[in-house]
Structure 1
Amino acid sequence: MRHAEADLAQVLNTGPFHLALRAALAVRGLPLQRVQHHLAHRGIKVGVTSLSYWQQGARRPQRPESLRAVRALEEVLCLPGNSLVRLLGTGEGEACRAETRPPGRSADRSGAVERLVAGLGPPADSGLHTVGHHERVRIGARGQLLGRDSQQVVRAHRDGVDRYLAVHHGDPGCDPASVEVSAFENCRAGRVRRDRASGVVAVELLFDTRLRPGETYVFGYGFEDGTGGRSTEYIRAFGSAGGQYMVQVRFEEGAPLPVRCRRLSWGATGTQRGPHTELALSGRHRTVHLVEQGVRPGTLGIGWDWE
């Protein structure tokens, strides 16, 4: 039983939603008919078939009344508040199409992102949940964003997923035509779309296999930029909840070191999430990093001040 509780705590942190729901039902030992009965006592009508689909990953609760039922499920199954709801986020496509998007420039770029992604077809990566994402960012001698490398671990929650859509936002002055895309681990680059006006590049990363529900996959990719102006932050947007995220920024030899670095975080509505706390910069290794154990919808990253 102790192992089952530990597994439940883990999947509540990493998702996806259907596996977390299934684990909670198993730990509590409640058949779906009893769950339906408890929900009915709270004035919420949900069919046993719907509950079964939710735990299988065949359907996801999205309508307001369904989300109300999920919140009630947290009570019925004695789970922490918001633990299941946060795994639903604002849409799986956005969760797995995480992108660098500084809040101050998001309004004029969001349209470009949607156009480019639409040009790549339906977001097939909507069948993925990000379990972990490690990212390394390099800043050059002029203070410009030289490039970034990502390694991701994802888990499929539906059958047949075989690609991921990655998006890169250059800093002001970026030339998207000169940005190089690399697929260096367990994937290959498919179609690439670029928008010169906004400095946005979108790429389709193709997996070597089609994933089955519950299967995990590790892949790596990167963007070589170096075409924009002086950078003062690196921020990534998350459309829904995910697992661990780590980002490390390295200021290359010959690059100036910032006088201070800080953690930046905003909620999904754009409101600041907590204080923007200072981060330690390693002068010897010329790096600064942050680690987020359970990503929430919104934006997260590192900002720095030059002299």
Structure 2
Amino acid sequence: MNAPDPHRLRRPAENDFPTAFARALTSQGRTLEWLRSRLADRGTPVSLATLSYWRSGRSRPERLASLDALDQIESLLRLEPGHLRNRLGPSRRVGPDGASAPIPDIAAMHADSIGDALRRLGFGDGWGMIDLSTHVVLRIDADRALRRVSTRTLWRCQHDRADALPLIYVPSDPDETVPTIGLVRGGTVEQILSDTPNMLAARIAADRPVRWGEEIVVEHELEFPGVSDDCYEHHVVRRMQEVLIWVQFDPARLPASADVYWHDADDGSRIEPVDITGLTTLHHRRRGFGPGSLGIRWRW
């Protein structure tokens, strides 16, 4: 019998964390309002809406502040350290890439609102282009905060004519501020929906209409208010030629360690440590990849 591969990860059941969280609350006879109040007293505030999302499985702890709060929750609910955290599995955060074809599984819980936004933007029947390759660049400042994400995507027209693309961003945490659109290259922002809470939904018009088989490159930047971050994950809904994630750190504040991870149907889930000695940036590239997800996470 072959020894198990230490780099392979178990993917927990989708409801593993929320079920354990709900059971812990019930067994201790505690309410979410009680928990919210105690977390605030301990200096790790979490809104009632976020706690409700965690319990129902609509979202889960992802950012450093949320994970710190999760440690306090385990203590408050008299659980063994790691009882809840170990049930989170790999990050499920959605990168701010323009939505394409099927909505990624991570966004399935927002499928109705995303579908409605796409219809209102004029994409009810799709948009006639597929993404071939994507390069994502993240900029982390000296306060360990994410400030900007630039996404450059190569698109190919698959219909007789196409002239626009959607940009959808849904925060994984309802308390997270929705980013704003910065520079756009290869196109212009034609429409932004102003009445979609907790979602950025926009229509980007290509520089000119494209025909079957033509390829274009569109780049957009998202500006973030600056929230401490320690991971990024990109989801791919079809096989792509290349996906590249590049994280740029401020030289004054570099991570202590990092690893890359990915999951697809062929290779399962894997994680590999990265030697970051002397580096101010990290990258993760996969070729001929998808459908699946890949990411980078780092520790300060």
TM-score category, normalised to shorter length: 0.5 to 0.7
> Which residue number corresponds to residue 219 of structure 2?
220
> Which residue number corresponds to residue 201 of structure 1?
200
Q: Evaluate the alpha carbon distance shift between residue 252 and residue 162 of structure 1 in structure 2; reply closer, same or farther with a 3 A threshold.
A: same
Paired residue for 1:296, among 286, 290, 298?
290
Q: How many residues align?
A: 202
Asked if structure 1 preserves the Cα contact closer than 8 Å seen for 2:123 and 2:166, the reply is: no
TM-score (norm 1): 0.57
Any residues of structure 2 matched to 1:49-60 within 5 Å, and which? none
Q: Evaluate the alpha carbon distance shift between residue 184 and residue 216 of structure 1 in structure 2; reply closer, same or farther with a 3 A threshold.
A: same
Tell me how far apart the structure 2 counterparts of residues 243 and 98 of structure 1 sit (CA, whole Å): 20
Asked if structure 1 preserves the Cα contact closer than 8 Å seen for 2:127 and 2:164, the reply is: no
Percent identity reads 19
Tell me how far apart the structure 2 counterparts of residues 283 and 119 of structure 1 sit (CA, whole Å): 48
Tell me how far apart the structure 2 counterparts of residues 282 and 170 of structure 1 sit (CA, whole Å): 32
Matched, 1:263 2:260: yes
> Which residue number corresponds to residue 305 of structure 1?
299
Q: Report the Cα offset of residue 132 of structure 1.
A: 2.0
Asked if structure 1 preserves the Cα contact closer than 8 Å seen for 2:99 and 2:166, the reply is: no
Q: Evaluate the alpha carbon distance shift between residue 224 and residue 264 of structure 1 in structure 2; reply closer, same or farther with a 3 A threshold.
A: same
- Cα RMSD after superposing both structures: 3.1
Q: Report the Cα offset of residue 94 of structure 1.
A: 5.4
Q: Report the Cα offset of residue 214 of structure 1.
A: 0.7
Q: Which of the two has greater helix per residue? A: 1
Paired residue for 2:238, among 215, 229, 240?
240
> Which residue number corresponds to residue 27 of structure 2?
none
Local SS of the residue matching 1:149: strand
Tell me how far apart the structure 2 counterparts of residues 118 and 220 of structure 1 sit (CA, whole Å): 23
AA in 1 matched with 2:235: A
AA in 2 matched with 1:283: G
Listed one character per residue, the Cα deviations across residues 220-275 of structure 1 (whole Å, up to 9, x for unaligned) are 11101134x32121111222222211110011244x3222222222347xx98332
Q: Which of the two has greater strand per residue? A: 2
AA in 1 matched with 2:205: L
Q: Report the Cα offset of residue 95 of structure 1.
A: 3.9
Matched, 1:252 2:250: yes
AA in 2 matched with 1:305: R
> Which residue number corresponds to residue 177 of structure 2?
175
Local SS of the residue matching 2:288: coil
AA in 1 matched with 2:151: S
Q: Evaluate the alpha carbon distance shift between residue 114 and residue 280 of structure 1 in structure 2; reply closer, same or farther with a 3 A threshold.
A: farther
> Which residue number corresponds to residue 163 of structure 1?
164
Asked if structure 2 preserves the Cα contact closer than 8 Å seen for 1:98 and 1:167, the reply is: no
Local SS of the residue matching 1:293: strand
Q: Evaluate the alpha carbon distance shift between residue 265 and residue 274 of structure 1 in structure 2; reply closer, same or farther with a 3 A threshold.
A: same
Matched, 1:184 2:180: no
Asked if structure 2 preserves the Cα contact closer than 8 Å seen for 1:94 and 1:239, the reply is: no
Which region of structure 1 is more displaced relative to structure 2, 217-226 or 124-133? 124-133
TM-score (norm 2): 0.58
Tell me how far apart the structure 1 counterparts of residues 195 and 144 of structure 2 sit (CA, whole Å): 23
Q: Evaluate the alpha carbon distance shift between residue 94 and residue 180 of structure 1 in structure 2; reply closer, same or farther with a 3 A threshold.
A: closer
Listed one character per residue, the Cα deviations across residues 75-108 of structure 1 (whole Å, up to 9, x for unaligned) are xxxxxxxxxxxxxxxxxx9546888x9x5xx565
Any residues of structure 2 matched to 1:82-93 within 5 Å, and which? none
Asked if structure 2 preserves the Cα contact closer than 8 Å seen for 1:134 and 1:245, the reply is: yes
AA in 1 matched with 2:275: A
Matched, 1:281 2:279: no
Q: Evaluate the alpha carbon distance shift between residue 97 and residue 107 of structure 1 in structure 2; reply closer, same or farther with a 3 A threshold.
A: closer
Tell me how far apart the structure 2 counterparts of residues 96 and 183 of structure 1 sit (CA, whole Å): 24
